[in-house]
Amino acid sequence: MKKPLGTKAVEEDNHRAWLNQVLPNHERLAPIVHSLLESMLQKEKIEYLNVTCRVKQFDEAVRKIGRKQYEDPAKQLTDLSGIRIVTFLESQVTAISKLIRDLFDVDNENSLDRADILGLDRLGYRSTHFVCTLGAQRARLPEYSALGDLKFEIQIRTVLQHAWAELAHDRSFKFAVALPKKIERKLNLYSGMLEIVDSAFDEISREIDSYKNSLDSKQLVQLRDTELDSLSLKRFLDEIGAIQNIPLLTTTAERISNELKQFGIKTIGELEKLASEDFLREYRKHVHNESGDGFLRLMVMYHDVDRYFATTESTWRQMPLEAFALLSSKYGETKISELLAKHKKGLERDKADPEPPKT
């Protein structure tokens, strides 16, 4: 039964008056929730792509109240303030969900995980969202005055879920229109593939963590048969640095591991053999506070400098004087200078000791 026009007009006026009163408070609320969430994500070391917040515009809220035919928007319109967290993995969505329940009071009746309610024809668009309030304890604080009872929505998506949702719900994009059954079925098939990839990324992430943990529990002698990669390389540097009492700074293991593989080194054991007593003695004599990359690169050069320059595609442009002195102790200054010139590598010089003028 339709309501009399006069009654409907009065309700609309009441809704507008309510929005005028409440929206300024939401303008205060949204950035507060945004800041709380970012701070806690960083404290708990949960990786994420971004956290954004928004408050519905007045006209947008009026349209939604009318479209949804809300009779009591103060209770039914729960997303005037919205915060979206985009993360990388499904496991991070789970961790963030727990964090939200610890931080805020959650309205379970209006919160849901879309994965639990999607039908077989709606694969792909999965998004967990919570409707919350700041909670009774926080609401008592003066800085949250008038904000304690306001509801806000927190939406959590992985990157792939976010990409799909944006494609499927952007009204200017072709995926959002009603489609013939044949095309819609194919679209659902591919969106389901995104869901499989999302789960696969999460599985791979767990395997990487497990592999790293297994490396961390091994000593150098136990690493010898381990395949050379960026993680095993970092572990090798930790171990040899501790054993030889050599202070090694950070390393960009991905870059140097490629050089080592080009040189022909496949395992940690093969790399360990290059750490000869002669090299370590000369390294301690000439080099101080070198990076992990520099230590490994010098170790390979000291073993066979001609082979290094012949086989590797290095990105460095200048050789430190300390490295030049170390290599010269084995090969002589003339040979190292000729190799640097041939391969267009410079020699770093102390600013207080400039290059002598040419005569």
pLDDT band for position 352 (cuts 50, 70, 90) = very low
- Inter-CA distances, 73 with 68, 80, 133, 167, Å: 10, 10, 16, 29
Report the SS3 class of residue 274. coil
Distance CA 204, CA 197 (A): 10
pLDDT band for position 4 (cuts 50, 70, 90) = low
Q: Which pLDDT value is given to residue 9?
A: 77
147, 130 Cβ separation under 8 angstroms: no
User: Where does CATH 3.30.460.10 sit in the chain?
Assistant: 5-180
Distance CA 60, CA 23 (A): 12
123, 161 Cβ separation under 8 angstroms: no
Instruction: Tell me the per-residue pLDDT of 304-320, one tens digit each, with 9 for 90 and over.
Output: 999 999 999 888 999 99
Q: Which pLDDT value is given to residue 194?
A: 85
Q: Which pLDDT value is given to residue 358?
A: 45
Q: Which pLDDT value is given to residue 339?
A: 96
Question: Given phi > 0 = left and psi -120 to 50 = alpha, else beta, which region is 256?
Answer: alpha
Rounded to 5 degrees, φ, ψ at 291 are -75, 165
Q: Which pLDDT value is given to residue 82?
A: 95
Distance CA 164, CA 330 (A): 59
Distance CA 329, CA 312 (A): 22
Q: Which pLDDT value is given to residue 354?
A: 46
pLDDT band for position 169 (cuts 50, 70, 90) = low
Cα torsion through 62, 68, 73, 79, rounded to 10 = -80
- Inter-CA distances, 76 with 128, 150, 151, 283, Å: 19, 12, 10, 71
pLDDT above 50 for 351: no
pLDDT above 90 for 302: yes
* pTM recorded for the entire structure: 0.74
Residues 6+ apart with CB under 8 A from 139: 133, 147, 148, 149
Averaged confidence pLDDT in the chain:
86
DSSP 8-state symbol, 317? -
User: CB neighbours (10 Å) of residue 181?
Assistant: 7
pLDDT above 80 for 350: no
Candidate ranges 1-5, 48-52, 174-178, 350-354; pick with highest mean pLDDT: 48-52
Instruction: Tell me the per-residue pLDDT of 217-244, one tens digit each, with 9 for 90 and over.
Output: 999 999 999 999 999 999 999 999 999 9
pLDDT above 50 for 328: yes
pLDDT band for position 280 (cuts 50, 70, 90) = very high
Lowest mean pLDDT among 115-129, 265-279, 337-351: 115-129
Q: Which pLDDT value is given to residue 81?
A: 96
Instruction: Tell me the per-residue pLDDT of 102-123, one tens digit each, with 9 for 90 and over.
Output: 999 999 988 876 545 444 444 4
Q: Which pLDDT value is given to residue 138?
A: 86
- Inter-CA distances, 27 with 17, 33, 34, 35, 238, Å: 16, 11, 12, 13, 50
10 Å CB burial of residue 80 (0-12, 13-18, 19+) is buried
Angle between helices 90-103 and 181-216 (to 10 degrees): 80
Q: Which parts of the chain fold into alpha helices (H)? A: 5-43, 58-68, 73-76, 90-103, 136-139, 159-169, 181-216, 230-244, 253-263, 268-272, 277-286, 292-303, 305-311, 321-331, 333-342
Domain 5-180 part of CATH 3.40.50.1240: no
